Chain A
Amino acid sequence: MTAIANISPITAAIWVVLLPLLAFLIQAILGKRAKSGNIALIAIILSTLLSGVFVFAEIWKGIPRSVTYPWFTIGISTFTVGVLLNNLTVLMQLLVCIIALPVHIYSRAYMKGDPGIHRYWMYLSLFCFAMLGLSISKNLFMMYIFWELVGFASYLLIGFWFTKESAVQANKKAFIVNRIGDLGFLIGIAILFSVYGTLDLVELFGKEGRFLQTLVDQPGLITAAGLCFFLGAMAKSAQFPLHVWLPDAMEGPTAVSSLIHAATMVAAGVFLLSAVFPLFNAQVLLVIALIGVITAASAAFFALTQTDIKKILAFSTISQLGFMMVAIGIGAWDAAMFHLVTHAFFKCLLFLGAGAVIHEMAHLKDSHNLQIDPQNIQQMGGLKAYMPKTFILMAIASLSLAGFPLTSGFLSKDAILISTYEWAIHHGGGYLLIPIVMTIVSILTAFYIGRLIFKVFFGKFRTAVPQVSIHEAGNSMLLPMAFLAICSLFFIFSWNPISYHHAGVFQGFHVAYSFHEIHSLHIIIPIGLSLAACIAWFIGWKWYVKQQYPLQADSTLMRFSYNQGYINTFYQLTVVEGSLRLAKAAYWFDKTIIDGLVNGLGRFTRMLSQVSAWIDTYLVDGLINSLAGAAYYLGHLLRWVQNGRLQNYLGFAFTVLLIGIIYLIFT
C-alpha cells in the first residue's frame, strides 16, 4: 500500500494518460464483444482518481515537476517527450477527467442499444487518451501530436453515425477546418524550432528558458509564431472565422458533444495559448482579443434565432470561447482558464440536459412515427411538467451561463469582463469598444439561453401527438447531470460568491497584469449585468412564453442570424467550390496540357518520323527548287523519290552529293 501511496505524481500522470489508451486498445481488440463500456468506464474512473489524488493534490499550488525522455535524434537535435506538471496542466488534466467521468456514465444509458456502441466506447477512450496527453505534454511537438489525435477522435465521434450523410459531411468539415489550425500550429512549431532550436516548453518558457535568454533579431518572426499558434487555437476553439465546423459537429451523439465540443477539446485552444502565453507580444494579443470579441458577438447573435437546441448550445460555446480568447488577449489568461473550467461544467451539463430532452423526443418520434426533428425547439414546450428534474438542472446551468450570482459562471465571467474593462480603460480610446461589446454579448447570452429554456420547458407542448409519453431520464443519466450541476455552483470554486479573486482556480496562477485594478468596477459590473440579465429574461418570458412576439420572424436580420451569417454558404461558394474548381482545372491541365504535351511529343516524334520519311521521300523538294534550273528533272524527282523507283534513289543520293559540293564551293 505504501508503494501505491508513494507513487510519484509524474508516474501517476502518465498512468492517467495511459489508462484510457489501454482501454482503447483492449476494446479495439475485443471489437464487438466490448459493448458494455465497462472497460472505458473503469479506465476513466481510475484516471480520475489518480489524477485527483496523486497528481492534482500533489502539484496544485506546489512545485512544478517535469520529466523528459529522449525520443529520437535527427542530425544533432534530439527530440524529446516529457511530462510537465504545473498548476495549469494538472488543472486541465483533472478537469478533463472530471468532465469525462460523468459523460461516460451518462453515455451508458444514453447510447444503450446503438448497434455501433463498441466503436463508441473505443473512440471515447481514444479521445480521453489524446486529451489527457495533450494536457500534460511538456513538448510542443508532442502536444501537436495529441492535438491532432484529439481532432481525429473528434472526427470519429462526429461521424459516429456514418450512414447519416450530414454526419459524415460534418466530420469531414470539422477535420479539415481543424487541419487549417494544425498547419498554423505546425508552422508555429517550425518557427520556434528554427529560432530557438528546441520545442520543450520548460526550455523555451521556463525561468532559464531560451525565450528570455535569446535575443531574436527578427521580432516579426516571433509575431508570426504567435499568430500561427493562435491560428491553431482558433480552429480548435472555433474562433471566427474558423468556427463553422462546431455547429455542424453537433451531428455527433449528444454525450460526445458535451464532452468534446463543449467542455474539453474546444477549450484546448485556450489551454494552448495559456501554455505558450509568454510568446505573445502586444500585437498578437490585440489580434487575439479582437478575434475573441468578434467571435463572442457573432456567435451570440447567431444563437439568438437557432431552432436546433444543440446548435444554440454550440453557438453559445463559441461565444463563451470568444470570451476566453478576449481574456487571453488582454493578458488575463488566468481568468480565461477560470472561465474555461467553470464553462466546462455548466456547458457540459447543458448538453447533457439537452441530450436527455432529445432522447425523449427521439423516442416520441419513433413511437409515433413522426416526421419531426427531435432537436428542434419549436417542436418542444412545456417539458417542465414531464421532466422537472432535468428542468431544474438545466436552469442551474443556464443561470451559470448567463452569469447569475451564486453560480460559478458569475465568478468567471465577471473576472473576464472586469479585467477587460480595466484593460480597456488602461489603454483608453477605441479599446473600450471591446468590453462594451462584451457586455452586450453577456446580455444576449442571458437572452438566448433564456429563450431556450422558455421554449423547451415552458408553455405548451408543440408537437401534435395523442399522448405525450415523455418522462424523466433514468438515474444513470440524471446523476452525472446532478454532479455537474453542483459543480456549476459557486462554492466549488470559491467560498465567496461575490468576488472571483478568492476563487481557488484563480489563485493557482500568478499572472502579472499590465493594467491596474479599478475597484469600483468590481461592484458596478456584477450588479449591472445581473440586472440586465433579469431584464433580458423578462423580455424573453414575454416573447416566448406569453407569445407576445413583436418581431418579424422573417426579417433580413433574423434570416442572417439564422443562417449563421451565411458564412457557410460563403465558404462553400468560395473555398470549397474554389478548390474543387482548382482541382478540376489542375486535372484538366494535367490531362490535356502536360500529358498532352507528352503525347504530343510522341505524336511529334511520329510526325517527325513522317516528316523525315517525307524528307526521305520528297526531300529534294524545296532544296532543289532553289538549286539550279533543272526544274523538270528535279520536280520529277521530288514526286517520285523513294517510292520504289531506283532512279529516284540515285537522283536523291546524287542531289545530296551535289548539295555537298555546293557547300564546298561556297565555303
Chain B
Amino acid sequence: MISITHFLVVSAIIFSIGLYAIIAKRNAIMILVGIELIINAAILNFVAFGRYDKLNYGGQVFALFAIVLAAAAVAVGLAIILAVYRKYKTINPDNITDLQD
C-alpha cells in the first residue's frame, strides 16, 4: 500500500532537486527545468491529496490547470531565453549581468 507519506516524500525530493537546479545550475534552461520540477512536485501533491477530496476533486482540477499554466510559462520562458541567447551568446545567468545595482 502506497500511503500519502510516500507521495509527499517523493514530491519533497523532487521539490528539493528543483530548488537545487534553480539555484545552482549555470544554465537558464536548467533553471526552467528546475522550475518545472517544483511544479511537478506540487502537482504530485495535489493529485495525492486529491484522493481525499472526493467531493470537488479540487486537487485534480488544480493539477490540470497547473500543468497548462506551467507549459505556457515554460514556452514563454524558452522564447525569452532564446532572445537572450541571440544578444548575449550565452545563457549562463552569471554572465548576463548588465542590469545591476
User: CB–CB under 8 A between A and B in the complex?
Assistant: yes
A163 close to chain B: CB less than 8 A: no
Q: B93 to chain A: which residues have CB within 8 Å?
A: 645-647
* Contacting residues of chain B (1-56) with chain A, CB-CB under 8 angstroms: 19, 22-24, 31
Contact B94–A647 (Cβ < 8 Å): yes
Contact A650–B101 (Cβ < 8 Å): no
* Contacting residues of chain B (80-94) with chain A, CB-CB under 8 angstroms: 93-94
Q: A654 to chain B: which residues have CB within 8 Å?
A: 19, 23
Contact A651–B98 (Cβ < 8 Å): no
A642 close to chain B: CB less than 8 A: yes
Q: How many interface residues does chain A have, given as a range?
A: 10 to 19
Contact B100–A643 (Cβ < 8 Å): yes
> Mask for A635-667, Cβ within 8 A of B = 1, else 0?
000001011111100110010000000000000
| Complex: A633 Cα to B19 Cα, angstroms | 13
A535 close to chain B: CB less than 8 A: no
Contact A646–B96 (Cβ < 8 Å): yes
Contact A644–B96 (Cβ < 8 Å): yes
Contact B22–A647 (Cβ < 8 Å): yes
Number of residue pairs spanning A and B whose beta carbons lie under 8 angstroms apart: 34
A613 close to chain B: CB less than 8 A: yes
Contact A644–B22 (Cβ < 8 Å): no
Q: B28 — nearest CB in chain A belongs to which residue?
A: A646
**If the complex has contacts A647-B31, A647-B93, A647-B94, are A642 and B23 also in contact, measured as CB distance less than 8 A?**
no
Contact B24–A642 (Cβ < 8 Å): no
Q: A642 — nearest CB in chain B belongs to which residue?
A: B101
Q: B94 to chain A: which residues have CB within 8 Å?
A: 640, 645, 647
CB of A639, distance to nearest CB on chain B (Å): 11
Q: B31 to chain A: which residues have CB within 8 Å?
A: 646-647
| Complex: A640 Cα to B93 Cα, angstroms | 12
CB of B29, distance to nearest CB on chain A (Å): 13
Contact A644–B19 (Cβ < 8 Å): no
Contact B23–A645 (Cβ < 8 Å): no
Contact A617–B101 (Cβ < 8 Å): yes
Give the dominant DSSP class at A's interface: helix
Contact A643–B23 (Cβ < 8 Å): no
| Complex: A50 Cα to B22 Cα, angstroms | 109
A645 touches which of B19, B22, B97 (Cβ 8 Å): B97
Q: A647 to chain B: which residues have CB within 8 Å?
A: 22-24, 31, 93-94
CB of A152, distance to nearest CB on chain B (Å): 65
| Complex: A651 Cα to B24 Cα, angstroms | 9
CB of A627, distance to nearest CB on chain B (Å): 15
CB of A472, distance to nearest CB on chain B (Å): 95
CB of B98, distance to nearest CB on chain A (Å): 7
| Complex: A645 Cα to B25 Cα, angstroms | 12
| Complex: A516 Cα to B50 Cα, angstroms | 123
Q: A613 to chain B: which residues have CB within 8 Å?
A: 101
Q: A633 to chain B: which residues have CB within 8 Å?
A: 23-24
Contact A643–B22 (Cβ < 8 Å): no
CB of A315, distance to nearest CB on chain B (Å): 79
> Mask for A600-642, Cβ within 8 A of B = 1, else 0?
0000000000000100110000000000000001000000101
Contact A650–B24 (Cβ < 8 Å): no
| Complex: A616 Cα to B94 Cα, angstroms | 18
| Complex: A413 Cα to B12 Cα, angstroms | 115
Contact A644–B24 (Cβ < 8 Å): no
| Complex: A616 Cα to B100 Cα, angstroms | 12
| Complex: A617 Cα to B23 Cα, angstroms | 16
A643 touches which of B19, B24, B97 (Cβ 8 Å): B97
Contact A644–B98 (Cβ < 8 Å): yes
Q: B24 — nearest CB in chain A belongs to which residue?
A: A633
Q: A646 to chain B: which residues have CB within 8 Å?
A: 31, 93, 96
Q: A640 — nearest CB in chain B belongs to which residue?
A: B94
Q: B101 to chain A: which residues have CB within 8 Å?
A: 613, 616-617, 642-644
Q: B22 — nearest CB in chain A belongs to which residue?
A: A650
Contact B100–A644 (Cβ < 8 Å): yes
Contact B100–A642 (Cβ < 8 Å): yes
Using A643-B101, A650-B23 as known contacts, list a sample of 20 further A-B pairs with CB atoms less than 8 Å apart, ordered by residue number in A.
A616-B101, A617-B101, A633-B23, A642-B100, A642-B101, A643-B97, A644-B97, A644-B98, A644-B100, A644-B101, A645-B93, A645-B94, A645-B97, A646-B31, A646-B93, A646-B96, A647-B24, A647-B94, A651-B23, A654-B23
Residues on A facing B (Cβ under 8 Å): 613, 616-617, 633, 640, 642-647, 650-651, 654
Q: Across chains A and B, which 10 residue pairs bring their CB atoms closest together, nearest first?
A: A644-B97, A644-B100, A646-B93, A643-B100, A651-B23, A645-B94, A647-B93, A644-B99, A647-B23, A645-B97
Pick 7 A–B contacts, CB within 8 A, sort by A: A613-B101, A617-B101, A640-B94, A646-B93, A647-B93, A647-B94, A651-B23
